[in-house]
């Protein structure tokens, strides 16, 4: 139960993204769904009205998402990306790394766990790789003990997103 008061670390960019989404949901999407419900009600019998059921489902999804975002923002701690030592990996840094074993080069942005999305190239500061990279400089190699064995990544480049 200790998770309830956990702070959601967010970059300034991530905080704004959640604020914008919340505004879109509360100002525009709520109104759109209310109109759909009004139109569906005007069609008469609600017991077999697919448009009404779909609009009610959509309304429920929107209200649930609003609650989630409000909770994220209520417990948000915006990370001052400039507080990290220049040239070292911190939250908000974009890091280009090379897998020492496969020679594959990858670029990730280090963010708080709430913002993390591997699909958008963002990894959490709490992930094994994110933790290993924090505080290191370009040219250094970090090691991660993974289920598949020891992984090594060389840091090729660090871009501080707060200064870019």
Q: Where does a domain end: 78, 100, 129?
A: 78
Q: Where does a domain end: 78, 109, 125?
A: 78
d(CA 71, CA 22): 11
Instruction: Give the pLDDT confidence score for residue 120 in this predicted structure.
Output: 87
Q: What is the Cα 51 distance to its own chain's centre?
A: 32
Instruction: Give the pLDDT confidence score for residue 115 in this predicted structure.
Output: 87
Instruction: Give the pLDDT confidence score for residue 82 in this predicted structure.
Output: 59
Instruction: Give the pLDDT confidence score for residue 41 in this predicted structure.
Output: 83
Instruction: Give the pLDDT confidence score for residue 164 in this predicted structure.
Output: 43
**3-state SS, residue 96:** strand
Q: Where does a domain end: 78, 97, 122?
A: 78
Domain identity same for 6 and 64: yes
Task: Report how many domains make up the chain.
Answer: 2
Q: Which two tokens stand for residue 47?
A: 């017991």
The domain containing residue 87 runs over which residues? 81-160
Residue ranges of the chain with pLDDT lower than 50? 1-3, 163-164
Instruction: Give the pLDDT confidence score for residue 44 in this predicted structure.
Output: 74
Instruction: Give the pLDDT confidence score for residue 103 in this predicted structure.
Output: 93
Strands 149-160 and 141-146 come out as antiparallel
Who's near 114: CB < 8 A, 6+ residues apart?
8, 9, 10, 14, 72, 76
Domain identity same for 115 and 133: yes
Cα angle 20-26-30, degrees, rounded to a multiple of 5? 135
Q: Which two tokens stand for residue 3?
A: 């998770």
């Amino acid at each position: 139960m200790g998770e309830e008061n956990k702070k959601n670390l967010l970059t300034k960019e991530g905080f704004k993204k959640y604020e914008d989404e919340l505004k879109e949901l509360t100002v525009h999407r709520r109104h759109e769904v209310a109109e759909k419900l009004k139109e569906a009600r005007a069609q008469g019998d609600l017991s077999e009205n697919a448009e009404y059921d779909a609009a009610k489902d959509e309304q429920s999804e929107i209200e649930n998402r609003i609650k989630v975002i409000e909770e994220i923002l209520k417990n948000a701690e915006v990370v001052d990306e400039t507080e990290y030592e220049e040239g070292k990996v911190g939250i908000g840094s974009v890091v280009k790394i090379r897998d020492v074993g496969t020679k594959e080069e990858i670029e990730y942005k280090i963010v708080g766990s709430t913002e993390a999305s591997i699909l958008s190239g963002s990894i959490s500061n709490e992930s094994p790789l994110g933790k290993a990279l924090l505080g290191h400089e370009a040219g250094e190699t970090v090691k991660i003990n993974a289920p598949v064995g020891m992984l090594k990544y060389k840091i090729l480049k660090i871009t501080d997103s707060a200064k870019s």
